[in-house]
Chains A and B, each alone.
Chain A
Amino acid sequence: MALVTDTLQRRDGRKGRGSASRNRARNGGPRIGSHIFLLILVIYFITPLWWLTVASTKDTAGLFGGSGGPLWFDDEFHFFSNLQGLFERQDGIYWRWLGNSFLYAISGGVGATILAVLAGYGFAKYNFRGRAAFFGILLGAVMVPLTALVIPTFVLLSSVGLVNTIWAVILPSLLSPFGVYLMRVFAQEAVPDELLDAARIDGAGEIRTFFQIALPLLRPAIVTVLLLSVVGTWNNFFLPLAVLSDPLLLPVTVGLNGWQALSNAGSGGEALWNLITTGAFISIIPLIIAFLSLQKYWQGGLSLGSLK
C-alpha cells in the first residue's frame, strides 16, 4: 500500500508543478486538493485487491494471524504451494472451472456480439416492415431484469433436457438487447447510407457491402459490445447457479462460492481458505489484463448508449 501511495504522491508533485502554467494558470491549491481526493479514492478502490494479492501468498495459518498482518506479506511465501494445492484439490477441479468460465464467456460473448452486430446493422440500415415495432419491444426488453427470466428459463431448458449441459449457460448468454441497441445507435452515425449505396451501384451484394464497408466502420462499437458481453457472461452467477449442478461444468464464480460455503459450514474445510483466496486472485487476472490492454477501445465506447 505504502509503495503505491508514495509513487502517486511523487507523481503528483512533479506533474502539478510541470503543468501548472499550461492548465488555466491556476495556483496549486485546488489541484493538490483534487489529487488528495483521488488518492483517497484510489486507496479505497484498490485496497481489497491488494489484500487479495497478499492473501494469495499465505497459507491458512498465515491468513488467520500471520506475522505481517492482513495487509502485508508474511515471512513465509506460500503462493506456489497454494497453486499446487489448487492442482491437487479434487484433481485440479479449479482449473476445470477456470476453463469453463473461459468457454462460457468467450462463446457467449462472441456469439452475443455477432448477433448484436448483425441485428444492429439491420435495424439501422434497412427500413423493413415491422422494424419500429420490433425495436420498440427490444427497448422495453432492455428494462426487463434478466434474473426474472432465470427460473422460467430453467424450467424450459429442463423440459428439453438441456439443464446441466454447457448449452444451458451459453444459449441464454447470447441474448443482449442492450448490445443491439448500442450497435444500432452507433451504426446509424458511423455508416453513411451514401457509402452503402455507392457500393451497391458498383455491384457489391448486400453481404459483401456489410463485410467490406460496414464492418470496419463498426469496429469501436464491436470491441465495446464484445467486452460488455464477455464481462456479463464471465460475471454471471444466478444463471449457472440455477441451471448447473454437475461440479465439472461450473464456472469459477459458482465453484469458489461453493468452496466458501463448504469452509463456512466447517465440514473439515478450514484448509480451503488459502485455496479460495489464491483461486480468486488467479481468476481476476485475465479480465484485468484484458481491460488494461484494451483501454483505448472501451473508454470511449462505454458512453455510446447515451450519445445522441
Chain B
Amino acid sequence: MATTTAPTSSQPAPAPQQARHRPDRNYRRKQRWGWLFVAPFALIFLTFLILPLVYAFRMSLFTSTLATGTKFVGADNYLKAFSDPIFLQGLGTVAKFALIMIPAQMLVALVAALVLDNLATWASKFSRLMIFIPYAVPVVIGALMWGFLYSPRFGPASSIFSIFGLAAPEFLAQDNIFGSLVNIVTWQWAGYYMIIIYAALRGIDPGIYEAAVLDGASDRQIALRIKVPMISSSLVMVVIFALIGTLQFFTEPQVLKGVAQGAIPVSYTPNMYAFTLAFSYSQFNYASAISFALGIVVFVFSFIFLFLTRKQSGLK
C-alpha cells in the first residue's frame, strides 16, 4: 500500500473553493467514494504491476547458484546484461525492427485511412473491414498461417512466382527472415492502426476542407497539409503502441522459430532471450535483470518519443 499513499502528502488539498462553499460532509464523501471506486483496480495494479516490478528489480540484484546459494551482487547482473553480446544483439535486432516495421505499418495504415476517408462507396466500407480483420486473428494463429504460406512445401509462393518465370525466394532462410517477420507484423497490425487513424479523420469538421477546395487545393494537398497535421495526436498514439509492441517482440519469432529451422536463434529478441534463460536454464535472476533492463529501455524510448512529439500530441 505504501506506493500509493506515499505521494499523497505532496498533493495540495483538492478543490479548496468547493470545500468552502459546500458542507464539509460533501468533501469527505468525495474522498471516500473516489477511493472506493478506484480501490479494486488499485489492488490489481499493486499486485500484478507494482509488485512484480519491485520483485523483478530485487531478484535482479541477486544471483543464485546451486553451489553458493542466493547471494547479493548489486548491479552485477545489469553490468553483465549490458556487456552481454547476446542481449545487445537482441536489442539491436528489435531496434532494427522498430526502424523498419513501424514506418512500414504507419505508411500502409495512413495511406489506407486517407484513401478510405475520401470515399463513401460500398466497396470502401467493405475494404475497411477486410483490412481490419487480421486484428481479430490471434497473433499466434497469424504467425502459424504465414509460416505455412512461406513454407516451400505448403505455400503458394512457388506457383505464384512461376507465373512470372521466377523462382520463389526462400522466405524462411536466414537472409530473408527479417523481411518475412516485418510482413507478418504489418499484416497483423496495419488494419488496427488504420481504424484508429480513420476514426480520427472522421472526427475532423468537413467544413475545413471546403475552404481549402475553394482556394483550389488538390486532394493530395488537403491530405498532407490539413488532414495529417490535424490527426497528429492519433498518429503519435499509434506510433507509441507500435514502438512498445515492437521492442517486446516475442510471439511471431517464437512461433516461426520452429518452421524456419535455424534461421531464428532462441535469443533472437531480448524477450525470447529472457524466456529461454528463465525456462530452459532456470536463471531467473539474470532473466529478471534482462526483463527489467528491457522494460527500462522501452520506457525511456517511449518517454523520449512522447517528449519529442509533445507539440503534436498536445501532451504537456
A interface residues (Cβ-Cβ under 8 A, vs B)? 8, 11-12, 15-16, 19, 23-24, 30-31, 34-35, 37-39, 41-42, 44-46, 48-49, 51-52, 55, 63-64, 69-71, 114-116, 118-119, 121-123, 125-134, 137-138, 140-141, 143-156, 171-172, 174-175, 177, 180, 206, 210, 231, 234-235, 237-238, 241-242, 252-254, 256-257, 260-261, 264-265, 273, 276-277, 280, 283-284, 287-288, 290-292, 295, 298-300, 302-303, 305-308
Residues of B1-47 whose CB lies within 8 A of A = 3-5, 7-8, 10-11, 13-15, 18, 29-38, 40-42, 44-45, 47
Residues of B96-154 whose CB lies within 8 A of A = 108, 111-112, 115-116, 118-124, 126-127, 129-142, 144-149, 153-154
Secondary structure class of chain A's binding surface, majority of residues: helix
Q: Are B5 and A130 in contact (CB under 8 A)?
A: yes
Q: Are A256 and B144 in contact (CB under 8 A)?
A: yes
Residues in B whose Cβ lies below 8 Å from that of A123: 34, 38
Q: Are A51 and B148 in contact (CB under 8 A)?
A: yes
**With A15-B121, A127-B15, A129-B31: A119-B38 Cβ-Cβ less than 8 Å:** yes
Can you pick out 17 interface pairs between chain A and chain B where the beta carbons lie within 8 Å of each other?
A: A12-B121, A38-B127, A46-B130, A48-B142, A115-B41, A126-B30, A144-B295, A145-B294, A149-B48, A155-B284, A155-B288, A156-B55, A237-B254, A264-B261, A284-B138, A300-B199, A306-B196
Q: Are B130 and A129 in contact (CB under 8 A)?
A: no
Q: Are A231 and B136 in contact (CB under 8 A)?
A: yes
Q: Are B136 and A291 in contact (CB under 8 A)?
A: yes
Residues in B whose Cβ lies below 8 Å from that of A273: 154
Which one, B142, B187, B271, contacts A238 given CB within 8 A? B271
Q: Are B11 and A153 in contact (CB under 8 A)?
A: no
Q: Are A130 and B141 in contact (CB under 8 A)?
A: no
**Chain B positions 242 through 255: 1 when the CB is less than 8 Å from some CB of chain A, otherwise 0:** 00100110110011
Which one, B36, B116, B233, contacts A122 given CB within 8 A? B36
Which one, B4, B56, B120, B156, contacts A151 given CB within 8 A? B56
* Chain B CB within 10 Å, residue with most, of A148, A155, A252: A148
Task: Give the complex CA separation of A127 and B18 in angstroms.
Answer: 10
Q: Are A238 and B130 in contact (CB under 8 A)?
A: no
Task: Give the complex CA separation of A177 and B44 in angstroms.
Answer: 10
Q: Are B112 and A138 in contact (CB under 8 A)?
A: no
Q: Are A55 and B127 in contact (CB under 8 A)?
A: no
CB of B267 to closest CB in A, whole Å? 15
Which one, A52, A153, A264, contacts B258 given CB within 8 A? A264
Interface with A: B67-75, B76-84, B85-93, B274-282, which one?
B274-282
Which one, B15, B53, B138, B202, contacts A149 given CB within 8 A? B53
Q: Are B271 and A156 in contact (CB under 8 A)?
A: no
**With A276-B144, A305-B237: A283-B138 Cβ-Cβ less than 8 Å:** yes
**Chain B positions 192 through 212: 1 when the CB is less than 8 Å from some CB of chain A, otherwise 0:** 100110011011000000000
